[in-house]
Amino acid sequence: DSGVTQTPKHLITATGQRVTLRCSPRSGDLSVYWYQQSLDQGLQFLIQYYNGEERAKGNILERFSAQQFPDLHSELNLSSLELGDSALYFCASSVARSSYEQYFGPGTRLTVT
């Protein structure tokens, strides 16, 4: 158990809809990272927050957005969903502002039908 929690575990929704994925980092961790893993793809970095502020952006679509709240939990919002958005979405956390040693949650599996 990494100490990072993600909800929900599974999510099935229709094209065009909007969903919110939630992540609670390990106690004491200030950085939260979001990744997407599509079929046969590596983990694609989406976005990072550090202590409530956006720190870096990766390959995140404009339809996607995220935020980190004062209690340090983070939410990833996905809107106007398309079939290709079906993937595993992982959240990770670290103590430091930038760290390659990240602690991953179990992921949320999103299926868009």
Partner 1 sequence: DQQVKQNSPSLSVQEGRISILNCDYTNSMFDYFLWYKKYPAEGPTFLISISSIKDKNEDGRFTVFLNKSAKHLSLHIVPSQPGDSAVYFCAVASGGYQKVTFGTGTKLQVIP
Binding residues for partner 1 (CB under 8 A): 2, 4, 35, 40-45, 55-56, 58, 90, 92, 98-107
Q: Closer to partner 1 at the Cβ: 41 or 111?
A: 41
Min CB(105)–partner 1 separation in Å: 5
Min CB(25)–partner 1 separation in Å: 12
* Rounded Cα distance, 70 and 62, in Å: 24
Q: Closer to partner 1 at the Cβ: 14 or 39?
A: 39
Beta strand pairing call for 87-94 and 5-7:
unpaired
Q: Does residue 8 have a cis bond before it (omega within 30 degrees)?
A: yes
